[in-house]
Amino acid sequence: MARIFITGSADGLGQLAAKALVAQGHQVLLHARNEKRANEAMARVPGAEAVVTADLGSMEQTIQLASVVNALGSFDAVIHNAGVYNASAEDILMVNTVAPYILTCLIKRPRRLIYLSSGMHMQGRFQPGDLQNGNSRISYSDSKLHVVMLCKAIARKWPDVYANALNPGWVPTKMGGPGAPDSFESGYKTQVWLAVSDDAKAKVSGYYFSRHKPAPCHPQADDVQLQDKLLTLCARLTGISVPE
């Protein structure tokens, strides 16, 4: 049995992953933005261990969340599922890029890290100036490229951890909309597999997955110098560095 923490698990793919993991007999810690959503999350995922709350749009609350999670013990896997789409550039940067960076740095190192990216990261770009000189130009696609870069940087720096990113597909969540062509099942199964499977194909690191298989990613994601630049900029923004 594994113990897994999932950000953004009050609804959507995070909630479906939580339900699947609980059904398999694993311990799951949920996360919600506020108390109202936390109560809803616990009602919708019977069998979950507990739920923690934090608005990942707040750097202070995100840092505090890491402390709360650490106080609850260690985890075998952390799924960085939370994300925003129809939001300001400031919120997109904070929730999609900075929050997973902070939580990666501060939560006790798990055996596995799973980062939800998007096929839209292929249209993104990493421009250091966007993070240095304000974030008014950061797009959702940019942030999801940042997520793949963060994943690959962590995989390189922490060889004892399986760190992988994935594209859940275009699924009919609140973010994806009712007309999305992919199924919910295709969206959450890969992250569940990466979190707990003993399949040798899942026990790898530094990959970008789609439907259980490694997939091509944006060329910038594999640029080690750009990865390190992203980490440096995130450290400047937050005052938190990646532990060695």
Residues annotated as part of the active site? 140, 144
Kindly list the distances between the CA atom of residue 113 and the CA atoms of 109, 124, 206, 218, in Å, as whole numbers in the listed order: 9, 22, 10, 20
CB 209 within 8 A of CB 188: no
Sheet containing 213-214: give its strands across: 50-53, 27-32, 3-6, 77-80, 112-116, 162-167, 208-210, 213-214
- Per the structure block, which two tokens stand in for 197? 């499977």
Answer whether 97's CB lies under 8 Å from 135's CB.
no
Q: Which residue has the tokens 């799973």?
A: 114
3-state secondary structure of 225: helix
Side chain identity, residue 84: V
Q: What is the DSSP letter of 113?
A: E
- C-alpha torsion angle, residues 231, 137, 118, 37 (rounded to 10): 90
Q: Give the Cα separation of 203 and 166 in Å (integer).
A: 14
- What DSSP element (H or E) covers 14? helix 12-23
